[in-house]
A and B are shown apart, each in its own frame.
Chain A
């Protein structure tokens, strides 16, 4: 195969290799009609700059969706979720276009008005992968806009979820809060300097002005910027436990109250700079930690996968209907490549259903009329009709998702610590109070408030938020996207890793073919390839791809028997390919997947299909084997057991033909034995297991592919670096613990001043930022250094460089 790659023609639109029947148009070569149509469309409108900006930016157009797909947009009610604004003249509509990936896309999508004059303007939000189109609805309908986008290669992604109400508005409040806190903090700091450096008695009036200004500046911080802390602390208390925000709120409130008292009574300058500083740094840390991957969805449910509408046959007519309105007894028309949205009975057509997403079985399953088909399968081949027997919400697949999740007990290190911390601080304050009550009761209030001010866990918290934020960022740059910071801790305590096979260890939809039998002549290979290229069956497609000899040639008497095989005359040779039973009429079954060949009256042999494993599995599996216990759960049959055993080692636990429930039960079984389980999977069949496990990592083929709900998303190309990621997360845990120890040392220093009752605002103002900053630098530096030593990319530039 490798020898032919350099002379292979690639499509001028999408860059995919043209194996079968390249389509010519002028000078250009395309892999399929779809790509040519897009090129023609752009060429006609003078948009060929699209091809200048990036090399082969197009998207493969080999699997066009059927024509009626966007018919549902003609229905005002169903189009509503996509419309932002509408008046008598124009409409603003917004779509999610996950295919958007480069500046060419940007160029094309913002020049839509040149493709159709009905479009007034269009604007891309690249980070959100959204396109807002402003169009004149007298000249072009919303459906036509969607179809125009589809024709240009950017089919809007619409799912059932879009019907479920408005998306949460992206909140900018935290940015405002941070900005205001920073502004007030810096100004209060400046206004406090004169006092720290000493003002003469003659400037008594000026001092008063400074203090009052400080008080005024601290109000927005106290009442606006710090709100999230109050809210978190309150929700913690309402649920009956003290979370880490409780001591922060205590410190903020006590500091503010004492400062206001000092200023009003004229006894001191207060600790406004410390208070605003705490709020500012804490907000910054939180932001860094939460900001990371807001564009990735870790919360997908079945609705994200399901189409928004399906074609329903009613009184002989084909109408588009919203999915929730489907009822038992309706007849659905499912086209090639569409998802079956509800359990039903096949009433017409030959179904060849790809269940890989639901069950993990890698090959499509043929179904005869009258058989039950489950929701979640994808039809390949001609359109079929399905009589619905269960509503969407009751279907097998939907049930898988909706199963109640076991409530997990919060036992994160930081939560345990925060609870202890609050009690320790209160105890120290109480001791100080008791001590001063005995010796000098006038200083009680002073000492107690000072303890509460200085013992704010902000250094403690800052170290973890900043370290986690940095680690999330570095891992994200390397292709592992974590849902939140707690996942780092869960990864670092993992003891057992469970893998899925199909799509996780193997490349989805790709097979390795080996030929068994008498050697084939080149002309015979060509004849087989030509026949195989005519068929839509995935096995035929990979066979044609494997032989790579197809060329335009007429096949006479072409006949495809779905689920069995294909036959036809190529250059006077009668060729037949298909299952053993179909081709050789033998009744013997086969354990593995084979395609038999017949040429005239001759049976030269068969092609054996085996999964195409990702590169380097043996190497990284070997590394993991030494550190963790490993298991493999596959929905597939056990034809590749020996190979997997070789990689995972003797005595490793490998189970085949596992249903989604089996997988989940297995994880639960491991957890009951006290194991911390990490599940690495990809499909819907792993959804339950991913959710049940302590860390569920969903493997995604491309950045825009859809993964089930999980704790982390791993770029499939980076799966070989899993051992490094695991090691890095363990290192992160150690860095956080080290910084905690350091911050406790700082706290002890601060407390030693505080209990004596002589914490001056100057000491507080120096101690607070310096402890926070030094810890920040330490954790940030060590996390970056560790990443560099392990060969992880630190910045996005390096990532691009490393990937070439």
Chain B
């Protein structure tokens, strides 16, 4: 029994070390898996804001990273679905940076039935250039309404507009009912 416990302890230390190393090599600034609430959103965005403020990064880039994080996290806290037996809105959040850009990666469970509509929105946004994104944003602001969940249907358009990058996404099927939706937003460093 004790032996087993010890072994487990070691493998966890290994895991923690491997993770530390891999975070260092991949220049990951933040990783989180768990419930995503407004409190969590505020905490992570201000954490990232403060750590970016210490860098040489331009205000513009800092602001864009902050902005994308808020939209992605609020998307999760408003729209994420749950695995059976879970109540809360959960998700993963990762922020990494390389020479060229910051990547904000978020992931959450989504009901398979919602995928076609979301995919359509993502493809639509990805098909537009800056000018047309701005036109779509204005149209949606005028015609849209704040939903019961508090969303305005503007988040994805805005991320694409502010970052100037295509939205990179994937759906990984978890079972017949739900999938895992991963969204990568890229903010270029200039």
A binds B: no
Contact surface of A with B, Cβ cutoff 8 Å: none
